[in-house]
């Protein structure tokens, strides 16, 4: 079946532009996560949704970052006034389970969107 998909796969933005990154989770998955992965590093948590509710946005680096999941399926990560330090791969993951890390089960990751800010 279809896995997690993300679009676009690559995005080049000029400094100061706004960007929107899309995530299509596995159908029926209630939990959705966004991560930021800098080159040569592990992913870093940005935000978590349970259905349409954004339960944790503590990892968002600044108020220029905004995420939504209005109908509890597709999610969009928006970055306003992009800066060079925003250049990274943005990963989306979904899980069929609720609860704590021990109860989330496997997180299924999409291929990521590589954002380059010039």
Partner 1 sequence: GENVEQHPSTLSVQEGDSAVIKCTYSDSASNYFPWYKQELGKGPQLIIDIRSNVGEKKDQRIAVTLNKTAKHFSLHITETQPEDSAVYFCAASRNSNYQLIWGAGTKLIIKP
Q: Which is nearer to partner 1, 48 or 65 (CB)?
A: 48
Which residues partner with 19 through β-bridges?
A: 79
**Is there binding between residue 4 and partner 1 (CB under 8 A)?**
yes
25 part of the interface to partner 1, by CB under 8 A: no
Distance from the first to the final alpha carbon of the chain: 37
Name the one range near partner 1 by CB under 8 A: 12-20, 36-44, 64-72, 77-85: 36-44
Q: How far is CA 18 from the centre of its chain?
A: 16
Stretch touching partner 1 by CB under 8 A, among 14-22, 67-75, 80-88, 93-101: 93-101
Decide if 23 contacts 38 (C-beta within 8 A).
Answer: no
For residues 86 and 79, the answer to whether their CB atoms sit within 8 Å is yes
Would you say 1 or 40 has its CB closer to partner 1? 40
The verdict on 48 binding partner 1 (CB under 8 A) reads yes
- Cα–Cα distance measured from residue 99 to residue 67, given in angstroms and rounded to the nearest whole number: 20
* Candidate residues 43, 60, 75, 77; the one interacting with partner 1 per rule CB under 8 A: 43
């Amino acid at each position: 079946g279809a896995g997690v998909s993300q679009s676009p796969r690559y995005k080049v933005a000029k400094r100061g532009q706004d960007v929107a990154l899309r995530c299509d989770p596995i159908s029926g998955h209630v939990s959705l996560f966004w991560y930021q992965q800098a080159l040569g590093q592990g992913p870093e948590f940005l935000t978590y949704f349970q259905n349409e509710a954004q339960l944790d946005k503590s990892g968002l680096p600044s108020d220029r970052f905004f995420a939504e999941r209005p109908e509890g399926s597709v999610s969009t990560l928006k970055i306003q006034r992009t800066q060079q330090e925003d250049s990274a791969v943005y990963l989306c993951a979904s899980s069929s389970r609720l609860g704590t890390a021990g109860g989330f089960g496997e997180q299924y990751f999409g291929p990521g969107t590589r954002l380059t800010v010039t």
